[in-house]
Every structure is written in C-alpha cells, then in structure tokens.
Amino acid sequence: MTRPITIDPAAFAPGAVPEGTAEHNRKLIAQARMAPDAWALGPAEVRARRKRGLTPFVVEPKSGRAEIIEIGGPRGPIPIRVIAPEAPSAIYLHFHSGGWTLGTADQDDPRLERLASELGFACLSVDYRLAPEHPYPAGPDDCEAAALWVARQGAGRFGAERLLIGGESAGAHLAAVTLVRLRDRHGLTPFSRANLTAGSYDMGLTPSARLFGDRKLVLGTRDIRMFAANFLQNGEDRDDPDVSPLYADLAGLPPAIFTVGSEDPLVDDTLFMAARWIAAGNEAELQVLPGSAHVFTSLPEPNAAPAYEKVMAFLKG
C-alpha cells in the first residue's frame, strides 16, 4: 500500500525562507543581472565559463579517487566517472544537470563522494552526449545504455546487487525516462530506489515554468524554453512520454524521493510528477524547501545540507 505525500503550504510562505537562503537568492539575481546573455554566447562559451567559475554553479573540488571507464553505446563509447569504495554496498547510477546542453560528469563529485564514503555506494556518473550538437534522442539513448550495462554487468564489476538511480534537473528527467524505457523496451525494473531532484518532466512547460519569467534564480522561463529547443530539434511531439515523462505510464516504477525548492521555476514539474508517481501505485517522498532556487542542493545555502541528508537517508533505505 502506498503512503500519501503531502504538500506543506508553509514551504511557500515568505516568512519560512531562511535568511541565508534569501541572501543567497539576492546574490544569484544580482549576479545574473551583471552576467552576459548566455544564449548570445552559445553553449561552448557557457561551458567554458562554468569551468572557470563564472556562473552561479560553484566549481567544487574533484574526487581524488575518481576513475573513468567506458562502456559500449549506441554511437560509440560512453565515458562513466566512477567514485567507489573497496567493497560497495550498492551502485548509484547518476545523470548530471545542465538542460541536456551543459554540465559534466564530475560536477557533482562532492555529493557522490559522500554517498561513496558514508553509505558505501559505487557512484557512476554518466557523461552522456549533449545538445545542441547531439539532440534527442542521443542523451536518453546513452543513459538507457548505461542503465542496461549496470543492470547486466554492475554486480559482476562492483560486487553489489542493489541498484539505485537519480539525477538533478535534466538528469532527473533522464532518470525517469530511463526507468520507463527499461520497463517498456527490455522488461526490466532493476533499480530499487530513485532520487529525482528538481526535474524537468514536461517539455510543453508546466504553469510554474511558464509564469516564472526571467527573474534569474539559476533558471528562468526563457532558459527552460531554450534548453528544450536545443534538446528537441526535429519536431518531436512534446507530449510524447519519451520526451515528457510526466505523460508516461508510471506503473511499476521504484520508490522515489522528489526534491525541489519553492522558488524553482520547475516546482510544478516536481509536484505534478510526485502526484502521478503515487497515483500509479508507487511509493514516493516529497520535500519542498522554502525559498530555494533551482537545484539548490548544489548551492551554498542553508536548505542544501538537510535536503541532501534526507536524500541520503532515503537512498540508504
């Protein structure tokens, strides 16, 4: 029997926002006003600026024990960044954020290091192909291939049977799409839990995404539309469940934890997807953090640590 999820209205009350979160948001907005137009620069330059720490995403320390392995993919080798202890207790397959256009497999090293060090997980972050150079279905195809490899060879490679999956923003979208693809295309449901943080699940844009405007808290309405345009270049139906997993049959998917900030333009994506997850008969937990911006778990603000600790507790099971 599934447990109900609740939406606490207190999370959306202005007085509930920690001062540190409010101050961080003010800094994000000020930084966005001073920054050049990312869409005039182009993806290659934005990627370079990210590496130099010139965007809201902090350049964080990289894991000293990470190694790169390669697996076979639909269009050639797929690099996977591995952070793992000697005898893993589980395998966590991770897809990074970045609007299917930006981001790298090493950008979440600090959080994956915590999973490896504190929970004993072998963390595998997939370096999937990025748009606009490689539009849909390239990224999802790479993630599907990585998930199949983990399902079929992960236990033999890492000595752990328990499989977990997750990601942030575009990575959460890719995780949801991958779970549905494995079930429908391969008859597989190998992952026991899913971590879906601030996902984008409707390419037609949910109300919060449409109405947020360009008040830049990491992400604005224009950004969401531009990322989707990079990803979808061949007239894809935006209601296609493989494009917008909010419209998929979600039955038989694993328990999931959904995390989002109340000041994320994709907050409706999470609220709607969590509700549909439960309606499909699956288990779900939902946490909405007051005042937090998009993918706040990667940002230096007060809500990040407790939210990520709850994610860790959920994945630990």
Return the active site residues.
169, 264, 294
C-alpha span between 202 and 317 (Å, rounded): 29
The 3-state DSSP class for residue 95 equals: strand
DSSP 171-193: HHHHHHHHHHHHHHHH-----SE
Cis omega (within 30 of 0) on the bond before 132? yes
C-alpha 112/C-alpha 168 separation (Å) is 13
Contacts of 58 (CB under 8 A, 6+ apart): 298, 299, 300
Number of continuous H segments (helices) and E segments (strands) in the chain: 10, 8
Residue pointed to by tokens 């996902």: 199
Whether a cis peptide bond, with omega within 30° of 0, leads into 135 is: no
Helix spans in the chain (H): 19-34, 38-41, 43-51, 109-119, 138-158, 170-186, 207-211, 221-231, 267-279, 304-316
- CB burial class (10 A; 0-12, 13-18, 19+) of residue 177? buried
Tell me the sheet residues that pair with 90. Answer: 121
Helix (H, G, I), strand (E, B) or coil at 111: helix
* Number of other residues whose CB lies within 10 A of the CB of residue 306: 12
